[in-house]
Structure 1
């Protein structure tokens, strides 16, 4: 049974028809902002701030690799969305560690 209800999240155009470039642009902007915020915390806890920045940068590199290496469109877009989400979660987690320490 094909579910083509346009109001469902999994049927949105960003996860069905995009080629992935939009995800890379958003991911790049997010990565720059996340790394910038984390590096501002470096005087407080350099290990967590720099480590978080490295992980965020690696996740963005993974987004680039997925964009050009994964062939099935829907899988590629889902992976890009997941990597962007993980990038944001890592940033929030690192900030919480710095702020609560």
Structure 2
């Protein structure tokens, strides 16, 4: 009879047991990270006409996080820790983009003449 702990380690539906965090080379994170970075920048660059500083800072953070994603892929040793860092950086790109859009829209709505 197996314990609950053994069953959890073999459960393929757990986030930590997903192939993208276990056996991937990291290429998928680079590909998706590139796509997400392009999308986020395509949203943030036009927002620079509304609030230049906030949108530019957000875009800079996105580029820095993407650079860290690329560096992590080629500098870190293969394995779960590299894939976890890459997944976290990917999530960071999405989070920074979302927060930046929210802040710019909030500032615009709060400014006189903003709707």
When Rg is computed on C-alpha atoms for both structures, the one with the higher figure is 2
Q: Residues of 2 paired with 1:81 and 1:62: CA distance?
A: 11
* Residue 74 (structure 1) aligns with: 80
Aligned pairs for 1:11-90 (under 5 A) are 11-90=17-96
Note the residue ranges of structure 2 that are not aligned, 5 or more in a row. 108-115
Task: Structure 1: state its 5+ residue gaps.
Answer: none
Q: RMSD across aligned C-alpha pairs, in angstroms? A: 1.1
Contact 2:25 2:78 in 1 (8 A): no
**What is the number of equivalent residue pairs in this alignment?**
101
TM-score between the two structures when normalised by the length of structure 2: 0.84
Whether 1:9 aligns to 2:15 is: yes
Give how far 1:6 is off. Answer: 1.1
How far did 1:72 drift? 4.2
Please give the alpha-carbon distance, in whole angstroms, between the structure 2 residues aligned to 1:23 and 1:76. Answer: 11
